[in-house]
Structure 1
């Protein structure tokens, strides 16, 4: 199983001027191509583009949500130890740890809870 390393970079905000490119779309496509070729020369494969929200401060006390466009690249991680299959990992767990809380808890009745206590007022 391959193990991947990822790199996330901001997408270009505007196009790059180039002789013969007249429209904004053509210049923007050229800027994307330059970035993708630069990353490919370093061994990164283009994986996807994302638009993600981020909360940023505006002024002293307020915050606003802005959206950032990023490009995700990946490449195989060299000298990575091969990962074992999930089934092997579950079987290798020590038996004494299986009594603790886990996602693999045995099915059964849920514990009975009493009524909720009223909040203490000051």
Structure 2
């Protein structure tokens, strides 16, 4: 974002005589042109003209409001233009936690983030046998009947 210095100067109130410039309007325009060209030579860019109120003393204790015509100019700050040196940000580095999770997944086939067995795809419904002391028959593991049968046997054990 460019920052600017501003300069406000009073607009000329009278025209300026010059060779070939005739009439009040032309003289006034020439005076305005001279002010603008002088400031442009110093690097100031014309922005706009403003008419603003100004309070002035009148007599011993009186005040009156007078409207002033002003010309507004701006130029970029020299110190900030020289100091502005953009640089590219460094690319993001690998996150070591993700590398450890990938290594764990490659070692035992489990997804370290979710704890699910990554060896089986989502569409497959394969059950992993429980601990060695399971009461379910070996051939019934992975079927719905075996799960229902295990649920029925569980209350009778206690």
- Which has a greater percent of strand? 1
Partner of 2:3: 3
C-alpha distance after superposition, 1:36-83 (max 9, x if no partner): 00000111000100000011000001100001001000000112266x
Partner of 1:20: 20
Superposed counterparts of 1:1-122, under 5 Å: 1-80=1-80
User: 2-side partners of 1:22 and 1:38: how far apart?
Assistant: 22
Q: Stretches of 4+ moved more than 3 A in 1?
A: none
Stretches of structure 2 lacking an aligned partner (at least 5 in a row): 85-158
C-alpha distance after superposition, 1:77-121 (max 9, x if no partner): 112266xxxxxxxxxxxxxxxxxxxxxxxxxxxxxxxxxxxxxxx
Specify the structure having the higher radius of gyration (Cα).
Answer: 2
Larger RCO: Structure 1 or Structure 2 (Cα < 8 Å, ≥ 6 residues apart)?
A: 1
User: 2-side partners of 1:35 and 1:78: how far apart?
Assistant: 22
TM-score, normalised to structure 2, is: 0.50
- Aligned length in residues: 82
C-alpha distance after superposition, 1:5-41 (max 9, x if no partner): 0000000011100111111110011001101000001
Q: Tell me how large the CA RMSD over aligned residues is.
A: 1.1
Stretches of structure 1 lacking an aligned partner (at least 5 in a row): 83-122
- Which has a greater percent of helix? 2
In structure 1, the residue corresponding to 2:40 is in which secondary structure? helix
TM-score, normalised to structure 1, is: 0.65
